[in-house]
Chain A
Amino acid sequence: MSQTHTAPAAPAPETDLAPGAEVLLRALKEQGVEVIFGYPGGAVLPIYDAIFNQNAIRHILVRHEQAAVHAAEGYARSTGKVGCVLVTSGPGATNAVTGLVDALMDSIPVVCLTGQVPTHLIGNDAFQEADTTGITRPATKHNYLVKRSEDLARVVHEAFYVAKSGRPGPVVIDLPKDILINKAPYTAAPTTLHRSYRPRTEPDMEQIHRAVALLKSAKRPVIYTGGGVINAGDAATAALIEFVRKTGFPCTSTLMGLGAYPSNDPQFLGMLGMHGTYEANLVMHGCDVMLNVGARFDDRVTGRLNAFSPNSKKIHIDIDPSSINKNVPVEVPIVADAAIALKALSAAWDADSAKSDRAAIAEWWTQIEQWRGIECLKFNQDMTKGAIIKPQYAVQRLYELTRETGRETFITTEVGQHQMWAAQYFRFDQPNHWMTSGGLGTMGYGLPAAMGVQIAHPDALVIDIAGEASILMNIQEMSTLSQYRLPVKVFILNNQYMGMVRQWQELLHGSRYSESYTAALPDFVKLADSFHGVGLRATSVDQLDDVIREMIALDRTVICDIAVDQKENCFPMIPSGAAHNEMILGAGHGARAAGITDEGMVLV
């Protein structure tokens, strides 16, 4: 590798040279790319010309570059492959930035090809020029500007390797137009190690043994899993399930990790964090040994840091060394791939002759069952005809009715209250079936992400659980869905408010609902119709099931406008800056929870 880097390879024979754009497509093919989400423009016309002349790679024409990246994210997260994006220079690249940061925060492997003005014009403020590598440097895992034709193929191969290895992330390749036109040599993907980038995947066995000793001594253990388990693939999920069952320990998951451990399993406590379950958060607060697998102690999970799980010894498995000891100091750091580490942990657990403290763990479960008994996700749905629909009920029925069909179902979301309700009430039992914008919290993520999922899984049921505010942020993709006849279902929980903003204003800003109400919303039924889709609406509880059933049955793009209770809030909630044991429960729970007053919200 360093050879090819330090000096250009000897000029290839004339016959091996092809225009840069063709070399690019050949490299993409070798990397297994089947679909590109993109939008053309002046600087990338040579690539579009090359795409026109081949059939191996399918191009999906989006309506906005941000959506191209989210679609690639949905594609990547639902398949485990690298998503591929193609945008033009200048505004094409800047529009993609939100998607890139989204993929960076959620560790999604994406390679984004950006056009650039010809090399001799770079720096001249040329038409549609932007300093793309400068702008995307903090928005990507890594980025490249190809300035020499002989580097082109090597950079493409390297970009895919960087995107998918270690902690996955987005990689940008900036491609000046002359590089796409000039003849370039093709080189195959290298088989040698990268010069400097060598992520560590094998755990330090000494740390594994320390972890096992700690776990065996635990009286109040918890296993806390995150998106890293999903990124580590099916092997990691299988190893996690095996380890959790073997140990008998309770397991909770972050928003990004949902689906790795089956939600309906009795050992699963539900999601933790700001809108996590009562039992999951109290288990985190009260545990004596915590095993974190592929999660990063995000502030939405930890709450107030100096009150986070104050009496526990912590083990942290992460492939990214910088995630360990970043926010929360841990006793046993394990830098490794989650699948490899979990298998090693499992084997070491079996080999270790010490017994775990079964009596103490049984007692711990008794305590957990008590917390579960609070039924923190309980809500009151008035079932009389004409009654307003509770958003929680809408998601719950969506889950039950989709499950009845037995079809493979993928859920994406936008960002806000509906996202949290989806995480709480839609129960996932498989990895890679839940796509949501966790780290960046990007409104407008769900519709294009669903598009990417549906491209990858044409026969599956793909539903974007949305809010009426978020959905408008990338609504133009309805046109893309229609063009490619993608039967994505958009399930809008419509309360006419930016619900999460409204909730915070109610709780923290004296109910001053500043700019969180959307006046003049579109008629979503007509909107679906104008985009060649089908619009459905439910305004009362008796209409809900029929609308959901019809939506599922239709082999078309569907928007369901579900009018839900405007005043409903997302509970439980750990207010920002509070500790896990300072959770607020919903109004409906007060009476049922022992020792809790019934004043709408309660500090526990």
Chain B
Amino acid sequence: MPTEPSLRSATISVLVENEPGILARVVGLFSGRGYNIESLTVAPVEDGRNRSRINIVTSGTEMVIEQIKAQLDRLVPVHRVADLSKEGPHIAREMALIKIIAIGEKRVEALRLAEAFRARVIDATIESFIFEMTGNTDKLDAFLDLMRPLGLAEVSRTGVAAIARGTRII
């Protein structure tokens, strides 16, 4: 019997025509065909704002990920689809704004850990902090796990932006 095909995570960047409905097309494709979206970012990336870049983190078997790429590529306003996690080394980062509501020991500990993780304090009151932190998803997750018992009240994350290392471009 064949073994179960293994799942992998994929970071896919899609360069699209910046036109109304394009995000709905991409998101609808994922929901309509039952693919996962673990993270999604989108913003215009060109002068004149006529092209946008969508970064999607998804997971599936190799066959499903190939299918996701093919399905994205056949959308009419899509210029290019790149599977960054497959085409070579890449860098992926996300940013989080993290609100801690705490006083006394917990407050001191939160600030100490934030320094260790190189999170920046961007707002403070006597009973709260807001940290800004950039890093890969694992680093953000680790920091948030530490903050949870220290008064973590609210998180706003951007989702992953990714780009290939070196001279390769999309």
B36 interface residue (CB < 8 Å to A): no
Q: Determine the distance from Cα of A278 to Cα of B78 in the docked complex, in whole angstroms.
A: 43
What's the minimum C-beta distance from B112 to chain A, rounded to whole angstroms?
A: 50
Interface residue tally for chain B (C-beta within 8 Å): 22
Q: How many interface residues does A have (CB within 8 Å)?
A: 26
**A142 touching B76 in the complex, CB below 8 Å, given contacts A322-B67, A325-B63, A326-B67:** yes
B166 interface residue, CB < 8 Å from A? no
A-B pairs, 8 with minimum CB distance: A322-B70, A142-B76, A196-B79, A197-B76, A321-B70, A6-B50, A322-B71, A138-B32
Flag the segment in B17-25, B132-140, B142-150, B152-160 that touches A: B17-25
Question: Is A320's CB under 8 angstroms from B74's CB?
Answer: yes
Chain B residues contacting A229 (CB-CB under 8 Å) are: none
Q: Given A134-B24, A325-B66, A329-B63, does the pair A141, B71 have CB atoms closer than 8 Å? A: no
| Nearest A residue (CB) for B48 | A6
User: CA separation between A324 and B69, bound complex, in Å?
Assistant: 12
Query: CB within 8 Å of A: which residues of B?
Result: 16-17, 20-21, 24-25, 28, 32, 48, 50, 63, 66-67, 70-71, 73-79
Cβ of B157 to closest chain A Cβ, rounded Å = 27
B48 neighbours in A (Cβ, 8 Å): 6
Q: How far is the CB of A9 from chain B (nearest CB, A)?
A: 15
Q: In the complex, A145→B20 CA distance in Å?
A: 9
A and B contact pairs by CB, cutoff 8 A, 19 listed: A2-B50, A5-B17, A133-B21, A137-B24, A137-B25, A142-B75, A143-B21, A147-B20, A162-B76, A167-B74, A195-B17, A196-B76, A196-B79, A321-B73, A322-B67, A322-B71, A322-B73, A325-B67, A326-B67
**Bound form: Cα–Cα A142–B75 in Å:** 8
Q: What CA separation (Å) do A196 and B50 show in the bound complex?
A: 12
Query: What is the bound-complex CA distance between A145 and B28, given in angstroms?
Result: 17
Inter-subunit contact A196/B28 (CB<8 Å): no
- Decide: B71 and A196 in contact? CB cutoff 8 A: no
The CA-CA distance from A223 to B48 in the complex, in Å, is 50
Given contacts A134-B24, A197-B76, A321-B70, 11 further A-B contacts (CB under 8 A): A137-B28, A138-B28, A138-B32, A142-B76, A194-B76, A196-B16, A196-B77, A196-B78, A321-B74, A322-B67, A322-B70
List A101-131 residues whose CB lies under 8 Å from chain B: none
Q: What's the Cα separation between A162 and B16 when bound, in Å?
A: 17
A288 to B73, CA, bound (A): 32
B17-A196 in contact (CB<8A): yes
Smallest CB–CB gap between B13 and chain A, Å?
A: 15
| Whole-angstrom CA separation of A329 from B77 in the bound complex | 28
User: Which chain A positions have C-beta within 8 A of B71?
Assistant: 322
Complex: chain B residue closest to A197, CB-CB = B76
Q: Looking at B16, B24, B70, which has the most chain A CB atoms within 10 Å of its CB?
A: B70
Interface residues of A in 266-302 (CB under 8 A from B): none
Q: Which residues of the partner chain A approach B66 to less than 8 Å between Cβ atoms?
A: 325
Rounded to whole angstroms, the CA-CA distance of A123 and B17 in the bound complex is 24
Q: Which residues of B contact A147 (CB under 8 A)?
A: 20
State in angstroms the CA–CA spacing of A322 and B65 once bound together.
11
Which residues from A are CB-within-8-Å of B76?
Answer: 141-142, 162, 194, 196-197
In the complex, what distance in Å separates the CA atom of A194 from the CA atom of B77?
A: 10
Within the complex, the shortest CB–CB distance from A403 to chain B, in Å, comes to 41
Query: Nearest Cβ in chain B — how far from A588, in angstroms?
Result: 38
- List B contacts of A143 (CB < 8 A): 21
- Complex interface: chain A residues within 8 A of B70 (CB): 321-322, 324, 326
Give bound CA distance, A194 to B75, whole Å: 13
Listed residue (A2, A134, A167, A196) with the most chain B CB atoms within 10 angstroms of its CB: A196
For A329, the chain B residues whose CB sits under 8 A away are 63
Task: Report the separation of the CA atoms of residues A112 and B30 in the bound assembly, to the nearest whole angstrom.
Answer: 25
